[in-house]
Amino acid sequence: MINDNIIEKVTDFKYLRYHISEYKSDLGDKLQTYNKIKGAIRRHFGKQMNKETKLRIHNITAKAVLKFGTEAWVLEKREEQRLKAAQMKFLRHLLGITKLDKEKNQCIRQKTGA
């Protein structure tokens, strides 16, 4: 109740194009947008820009997309793994490392300062 007005309780709603739910996160939508931004960074800035600058653009734009509205999230273990995998995919590409190189995630994060 706010100022003698009864507030309706709902289990889910859309806010600024994002679906906020008591029961599920909109992680799939956010990861899709995140991957589009990562692809744009790779396509448009490719080899013309140094790694530090690409990483800064990633931190400013792509990470912001993932973090918006996450205050209400309750992540399951699988969702947390999906987030980490998406980040590692970008960082590996940034450094030019493939999974066949058998480089540990911890080393990659250390190299990029992530």
Secondary structure (3-state) at 5: strand
Structure tokens at 99: 């999974």
Q: Per residue in 79-106, pLDDT tens?
A: 888 888 888 888 888 888 888 888 888 8
pLDDT tier at 5, thresholds 50, 70, 90: confident
Read off φ and ψ for residue 3, nearest 5 degrees.
50, 45
Q: What is the mean pLDDT of the chain?
A: 78
